[in-house]
A and B are shown apart, each in its own frame.
Chain A
Amino acid sequence: MEDDTTDERADDAERELEQNVGQRFGRLPETAAERTVEGRASREEVLEFFADRFAIPPATFDDDTFWEKGAGKIWLYSGEASTPVEIEAIGMTCLRTRQEHWKPTTDFVQRFGHHASECVIDLDREQARRFAAGEDQELAWDGDWGYLIAAHTVAGEREPLGVGLYVHGELRSMVPKGRQRDL
């Protein structure tokens, strides 16, 4: 698959740019048939993606709505809003869809990743430390390549760290610069 480790770095730059433009958010159509905005994913497709790739049950998001900011990232929101809405932010960014391989965000994975049971790679403490610092590392993994949820054990339970890109025997940390930590 294509290498897009630069994505999150682009995200940081985008965040800087966006600061100055309050933007328009549109709610995702229920299904592809109800689509009115070119290229916009539907709620059904988003739920399907989380279920197919990570086995996150669609019911997890029963109380949430999904939104797209312009022709950009998908946001997850649980409050009230009418569509479209000009606003700085609603809820949190959760997914990047307008590319071949859809990519969840680190913040989404940290918030909802505990519902996942597939494409989760368990790291030991040292591997987790390197992942949190934004480092790439060689690791064995016999599941699908592509975007994985990296996790480790905290207080006796699995805890998602963020999104990693697994290709050619290597796990690349997708933790954005501003979220990386030296632990």
Chain B
Amino acid sequence: MEPLERYRPIIDDFEAFLAACERPLGNAVRVNTIKTSVERATTALEEDGVAYDQADWNPRVLRLETNSPGSTWTSFHGFTHGQEEVSAVPPVVLDPRPGDRVWDCCAAPGGKATQLAALMDDRGTVVANDSNLGRISALRFNAERLGATSLAVTNDDARNYSLQRFPFDEFDRALVDAPCSCEGTIRKNPDALDNWSPDHINSVAGIQKGILRRALQATCEGGTVVYSTCTFAPEENEAVVQHALETEDCRVVDFDLGLEYAPGLAEWDGETFDAALERAARIYPHHNDTGGFFVAKLEVTA
């Protein structure tokens, strides 16, 4: 927990935050509405004798009271997909519509890409990209198990992504669920902080800036880009969005979210950020008893 000490000044009720980070996380699943309705999925869970608790902010997110969420009929049928509760936030903030062209820049293993397809009623095009070939097979497996017919899989570096193979030259929306230092996954992976270092944060921040810039360039004017990470480090969050504001035509916009969260930071370590960064959300583990996440919503202005 040592690396988290530096957040003491910015996190309200820091002791509650640390205590939440020590607690293991429960099992959450997302109902895959490509294959069934929330009502039918919950009835099927009841038939299986699996108790669940529906998230207030999103009826498609269920917390299960079972140690083996993979061995239920709902899972076999692809009615549900194991996905951490906060991990279901970025696609909801991106808010894609049926028929949209959506780019998920860093998509493997596909929890959010398939959620995007479901939010679009599996109509439109979701381009699910990841640079890591080893993770592409998990992405493909999940897409097929969940029946996402609108999803295309590519294996490229998002920083210099080309749309050349598609019959369109820009996206309506993009999700940048960036590679990060993963501090917010500590409840799921107790060793998440083992390789923590300022150098690692700085190098991953460079990659994040490159991916976010490309996503903004590849999105049409008036289109939306959501930037998210599962880390608390401001260098990988506000500072990355700040860099995008300075280099691309975009602005940070508000969004509604029925979860508790803190606003984005106005400054960190001597650097001040655009006031609009307060519109971003910092979701801490003690807020809603989840993992940690950062989400910012941007609009492309030219």
Contacts and interface: CB of A to CB of B under 8 A. Distances in A.
B194 interface: no
Quick one: which of B44, B133, B150, B167 has the most chain A CB within 10 A?
Answer: B150
A92 interface: yes
B162 to A, nearest CB: 12
Contacts of B70: 181
A30 interface: no
Contacts of B166: 80-82
A57 B240 CA distance: 50
Nearest to A154: B44
B43 A156 contact: yes
28 contacts: A15-B137, A15-B140, A16-B137, A19-B133, A19-B136, A19-B137, A20-B133, A63-B123, A64-B149, A79-B124, A81-B125, A81-B166, A81-B167, A87-B153, A89-B143, A89-B152, A90-B153, A91-B150, A105-B144, A110-B78, A111-B35, A111-B78, A154-B40, A154-B44, A154-B47, A154-B73, A157-B40, A181-B71
Interface residues of B, number: 42
Interface string B133-161: 11011001101110111111111000000
A80 B143 contact: no
Contacts, number: 108
Interface string A92-110: 1100000000000101001
Contact of B154 (A87, A110, A154): A87
A59 interface: no
A111 B32 CA distance: 11
B35 A183 contact: no
Nearest to A178: B141
Question: Could you tell me the dominant secondary structure of chain B's interface residues?
Answer: mixed
B205 interface: no
A81 B150 CA distance: 11
B165 A88 contact: no
A74 to B, nearest CB: 13
B72 A183 contact: yes
B97 interface: no
A92 B143 contact: yes
A182 interface: yes
Interface string B14-53: 0000000000000000000011000010011001000000
Contacts of A181: 70-71, 75-76
Given A78-B122, A181-B71, A182-B71, A93 B144 contact: yes
Contacts of A107: 144-145, 147
